[in-house]
């Protein structure tokens, strides 16, 4: 619980507004109606004064914190959280929490470690919230903000969700940060990628303007092959340059 509540004797009692203050630092969206709702669901049972005011003991605040954490970090429904609390009340350990975050398809790689044309043709439907992206990539909000500032990561057009590529970029940026490379140092990668994209689009543009049957499919196939070749050339040039 919050610093003001940590180590408080069990005889301590707080009003609902005080509990709100104790929890708000870790759970900014917590509200009094939310606390009342959780009480209505039987997840917490604060004492009541003769006048009907709620009084929360330290163990009530701990239960609230547990409920809110399970909702925020593990997306557990209230029924399941209630089962966990029942187990804890009976001196048992709650069941292990299975991962509930989305998984990302493994990249299809060729033998030389560069993406194949099939990888560039792949279309997945993964949509990650900002919080999910931060959690999966193991970065913090500040780093995500920097990645966005320098044009390395952005939500899908017209949405607030991030895709697989954003996750891979954010994860790679975190790994590079371990070597002292911050997002601002990665702007050159963005610029180089944009130049390669421009070259691919220049070649494919005439194919996309035709109206022959199968033209669109052919254009997509050429785009995937050119992208794979571009990445292979880029990777090999870097490898050769490091060996010089």
Choose the weakest-confidence range: 179-183, 195-199, 212-216. 212-216
pLDDT digits (tens, 9 = 90+) for 14-32: 999 999 999 988 898 889 9
Q: Grade residue 122 by pLDDT with cuts at 50, 70 and 90.
A: low
Instruction: State the pTM of this model.
Output: 0.53
For residue 132, report the phi and psi dihedrals to the nearest 5 degrees: -65, -40
Are 54 and 16 a contacting pair, CB within 8 Å? yes
Q: What angle do CA 179, 185, 187 make, to 5 degrees?
A: 140
Are 181 and 158 a contacting pair, CB within 8 Å? no
Q: Give the residue-averaged pLDDT of 112-123.
A: 66
pLDDT digits (tens, 9 = 90+) for 216-230: 777 888 888 888 888
pLDDT of res. 109: 43
Domain boundaries, the chain: 16-89, 117-243
Q: How many CB atoms lie within 10 A of CB 113?
A: 8
pLDDT digits (tens, 9 = 90+) for 143-182: 999 999 999 999 988 888 998 889 889 999 999 998 999 9
Return the CATH number of the domain spanning residue range 16-89: 1.10.1660.10
pLDDT of res. 29: 84
């Amino acid at each position: 619980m919050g610093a003001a509540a940590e180590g408080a004797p069990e005889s301590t009692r707080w009003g609902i507004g005080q509990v709100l203050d104790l929890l708000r630092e870790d759970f900014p969206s917590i509200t009094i109606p939310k606390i009342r709702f959780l009480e209505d669901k039987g997840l917490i049972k604060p004492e009541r004064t003769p006048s009907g005011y709620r009084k929360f003991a330290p163990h009530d605040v701990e239960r609230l914190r547990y409920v809110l954490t399970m909702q925020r970090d593990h997306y557990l429904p209230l029924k399941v959280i209630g089962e966990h609390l029942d187990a804890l009340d009976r001196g048992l350990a709650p069941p292990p929490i299975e991962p509930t975050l989305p998984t990302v398809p493994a990249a299809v790689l060729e033998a030389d470690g560069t993406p194949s044309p099939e990888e560039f043709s792949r279309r997945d439907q993964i949509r990650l919230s900002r919080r999910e992206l931060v959690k999966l990539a193991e970065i913090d909000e500040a780093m995500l903000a920097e990645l966005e500032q320098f044009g390395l990561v952005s939500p899908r057009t017209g949405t607030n969700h991030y895709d697989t590529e954003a996750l891979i970029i954010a994860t790679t940026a975190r790994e590079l940060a371990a070597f002292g490379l911050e997002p601002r140092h990665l702007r050159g990668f963005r610029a180089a990628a944009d130049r390669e994209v421009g070259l691919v689009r220049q070649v494919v543009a005439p194919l996309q303007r035709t109206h022959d049957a199968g033209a669109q499919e052919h254009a997509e196939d050429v785009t995937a092959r050119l992208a794979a070749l571009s990445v292979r050339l880029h990777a090999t040039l870097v490898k050769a340059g490091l060996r010089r």
